[in-house]
Chains A and B, each alone.
Chain A
Amino acid sequence: MTSELDIFVGNTTLIDEDVYRLWLDGYSVSDAVALRVRSGILEQTGATAAVLQSDTMDHYRTFHMLERLLHAPPKLLHQLIFQIPPSRQALLIERYYAFDEAFVREVLGKKLSKGTKKDLDDISTKTGITLKSCRRQFDNFKRVFKVVEEMRGSLVDNIQQHFLLSDRLARDYAAIVFFANNRFETGKKKLQYLSFGDFAFCAELMIQNWTLGAVDSQVDDMDVDLDKEFLQDLKELKMLVADKDLLDLHKSLVCTALRGKLGVFSEMEANFKNLSRGLVNVAAKLTHNKDVRDLFVDLVEKFVEPCRSDHWPLNDVRLFLNQYSASVHSLDGFRHQALWDRYMGTLRGCLLRLYHD
């Protein structure tokens, strides 16, 4: 006796959260059944393995049918085939678009192209996430990217509108899109200590302050592309380190203000010029795409690592950066105050976030 056909269709589509998770995690039906057996469900419910198998198959089939709709979540809301309560719809979407930290760290900043897709095998092996799940996550990134990349208006809003994600998840996706578009390098060894959250935080600051959208909310790609003009202008900041008087003045202003307040004052004093050069040079280099990509590598190399090797406490870093940014306003010979604020305001936030072990 073999089962040729075995289906269950409810007027309200039944969604089993546990099975959904297994499906999202890319397990095959038999693996999912094995995992469910291990969870002790048979004992709890008195069901047999055959029942579990049939149930799992059924859910998988449903999810498979829903997947097409999940690719365009508004369709899920308007479709008539599956009657699903709104709360469940939201759960389906949110879970479908959720991603693994380990996975996102692997592809963050990479071009969402076929080439990267080919590397998913390696990522799967490396992270222990099933290939199927990697593919889903990658395709989600790519799909969101494609839809919003050329859109005007706020990136987060666009993502929310077109994919109906929660605010948090939409922000994460905004970061992913932003990184993918600007191809920031995140995979270098010295960046490994950074979490996705760190990058997402930086991305949000950068979107708010450094993109076209920061100055004009009516342009295409406003939140995705960095403001080229702004990057061009950043060259002007070079005088802060190139002009020796200015640099000395800046240093003395900072040192005066921080004397006695910093545990690592002497280290700071000794390193001031190096750090300042580092930060200003990063800015000056951002005209080249290549250097934009290396932004995080540079920040870590030029600022985070030197401070860390001198064991600056985070609070000292904060005090320093605040003073460092603010003192520029007292430099009479420096005219690009607004530019400096736009640059340093964001950078300060990023650096503070990046500064940890």
Chain B
Amino acid sequence: MKETPLSNCERDFLLRAIEEKKRLDGRQTYDYRKLKITFGTDYGCCFVDLGQTRVMAQVSCELVAPKENRPTEGILFFNIELSPMASPSFEQGRQSELSVKLNRQLERCLRNSKCIDTESLCVVSGEKVWQVRVDVHTLNNDGNLMDAASVAAITALCHFRRPDVAIQGEEVTVFSPEERDPIPLSVYHMPISVSFAFFQQGTFLLVDPCEREERVMDGLLMIAMNKHREICSIQSSGGIMLLKDQVMRCSKIASVKVSEITELISQALLNDKAARKAGGKCGFAESMPQDRITALKMDQTDVEMTNVSQTGSGVILQGDEAPPPTVPSPVVPVPGVGQVGQGLQSWGLEEEEEDDDDEEEESSGDDQVEEVTQIKLSEKDKKEAVVEISDSEEEEVEVDKLN
């Protein structure tokens, strides 16, 4: 689907507002939107909300053969999916320019910076290594997908636990999570990307652009840094000419932002750990905020239910009534011989028995109380025809009669 076109008056208004240092949602030039990190029930599942932009990262691992030129290192695989859920202009399956750009940036930010120790992912050198796969799904696009995706990816990697492995000589045992606690990945540092949007040929800059600001910007500068002030990657797109001191200024701003965000991530990881230890509820459903549209809100809304209960009871009444169950009781015609049922004695009784058996099969799910009453009734009916011995109190009398 095509995106809603940007009208001229919106563009003019946004540019004028930026010149007056005003942003649409009232933020300052260097302010980030509210960043919220929540975790799912599995290890390695992480949701990140950056204002209205929402992404989800999921980490998984499996044992594979290593690359031939790197037999002792594990493999890291990154994938960002732009789903049509995020924006009507994203098409499922098609590799758009934005998707290629985001994937490339995430790979450079996380893989080339060597933030994960891949040597520790090796199980049997040259044969079996762990392949860790990070899938980032975009759920809602309100600008600055790159930052949200990088935070989600690194948080999910820190949250993830891989199965424990034991090697004894030639034997390799992979323990399931129930047998042995899974162990976390070894993360050296956390690279976070910070995006700067430039307007009016580099005169004005904004941190963390929202979707409308992204549509009117001239160019984007993305700096990935960790809290030790090491730059992991810098990328400038849009063809704007930046001066050296502009880039230096951006990197200083980025270092401040990155330390704040890293603090937030560590806090979120600690909270989640405490919640899991305490056995409390954790996961996506718990962390979902309840956004309700209250336009038609009433404190108590009546929904007509009397018809529903009437039709419901009508349906139940119309159903066929279950036939009563009957069970033939055991009989001792001659001492030392037991008989259940009538066998081939007489035609009339045989038919009765068949009916009884059929009824028995149909009514196997009925209440015990009904069964008991029905059995007692059938006993009384058959008393005249056959002398019965059962577990009732009249046993003694009947035995005497036989003898």
Are A and B a genuine interacting pair, yes or no? no
Which B positions have Cβ atoms within 8 angstroms of A? none
Which A positions have Cβ atoms within 8 angstroms of B? none
